[in-house]
Amino acid sequence: MNHLPRQPPPLGSRAILGQRWSDVVFLHWRVDPEAVEPFMPPGCSADVFDGDSWVGLVGFQMSDSSFFGGPRIPWLGSFPEVNVRLYSVDAQGRRGVVFRSLEASHLVPVMVARAAFGLRYQWASMKRERTDDEVAYRTVRHGRRSAVSEFTIRPTPERAGDGELSGDPLSTFLTARWGFHERRRGRTIYCRNHHEPWPLQRAELLRLDDGLLEAAGFEGVADRAPESVLYAPAVRTVFAAPQTLQQPTV
């Protein structure tokens, strides 16, 4: 197994989209790679850590969106997102994320992301709550009320980015992905992103009531406790234009 670098590789081209991600919560479960493979785009396979693949439930607050390095666009607004994601590697060895679903409460960005990247964004009613020591997310998808998720975590008091997590191979594998793979218009694309290393903290899961994992094809997974619970206060990220993967010849 090759460990991913905590520092991102070069973006490779001009940034087309910038965003700020705040109050980021990572919940992760081990799953059999055979359960993940059917969801991989052509040209990709399930990435593994110590023989296991992983499914993640990730919540964050999105804000300060901008295009091509310009000023932030007020109408894009600030809104929460919760996604279900898997981990991929392509024939060129590029590791990334494959999104099974992405819940967002702002309809316009949902439509833009679907059109531009082919991402499986879903319009949902959502709420993020932040207190001095807890972060909570709740989402209910419009038109499918069983696709609901509610979770609350308490970050540990360690300073973000310090301690053992800075060198923890599993935490790096789950968070330092630097791109996503997606099926778009009949082809597999790879879209690279770039941000500073995650300022990770461990966290305690206080509440979880989830239907998104089952809706994404992973029935029963949320019935057990996640093996990894992490938190990051904020990063600023940018995305490059999508690249089309070289499709294998038969």
pLDDT at 250 over 50: no
Is the pLDDT reported for residue 232 higher than 90?
yes
Q: Find where tokens 């807890």 sit.
A: 134
What are the backbone angles phi and psi of residue 222, rounded to the nearest 5°? -70, -5
Beta carbons within 8 Å of 195's beta carbon, 6+ residues apart: 8, 235, 236, 237, 238
Residue 5 near residue 233, CB atoms below 8 Å: no
pLDDT-based confidence at residue 14 (cuts at 50, 70, 90): confident
Specify the 3-state DSSP secondary structure of 13: coil
CA–CA separation, 250 and 247 (whole Å): 10
Q: What angle do CA 95, 99, 104 make, to 5 degrees?
A: 135
For the chain, give the mean pLDDT.
Answer: 88
Q: pLDDT exceeding 70 applies to what percent of the chain?
A: 86
Quote the number of domains for the chain: 1
- Write down the pLDDT at residue 1: 47
Does residue 249 form part of some domain?
Answer: no
Query: What confidence score (pLDDT) does residue 75 get?
Result: 61
CATH number at 38 reads: 2.40.400.10
- What is residue 27's predicted lDDT score, i.e. its pLDDT? 98
In this prediction, residue 161 carries a pLDDT of 59
User: The whole model's pTM is what?
Assistant: 0.91
Do 178 and 86 contact (CB within 8 A), yes or no?
A: no
Residue that is written with structure tokens 């709550």 in the block: 129
pLDDT digits (tens, 9 = 90+) for 159-176: 665 566 878 999 999 999
Looking at residue 63, what is its pLDDT?
Answer: 87
Tens-digit pLDDT profile for residues 21-63: 999 999 999 999 999 999 999 999 999 999 999 999 999 998 8
Q: pLDDT by residue (tens digit) across 179-217?
A: 999 988 788 999 999 988 899 999 999 999 999 999 999
Q: Give CA–CA dist 38/29, Å, rounded.
A: 18
Q: Is the pLDDT of residue 224 over 90?
A: yes
Domain assignment of residue 169, given as a range: 21-243
- Is 118 part of any domain? yes
What's the CA gap between 127 and 141, in Å, rounded? 12
In a domain, 10, yes or no: no
For residue 210, tell me if it sits in a domain.
Answer: yes
Please give the pLDDT value at position 66: 72
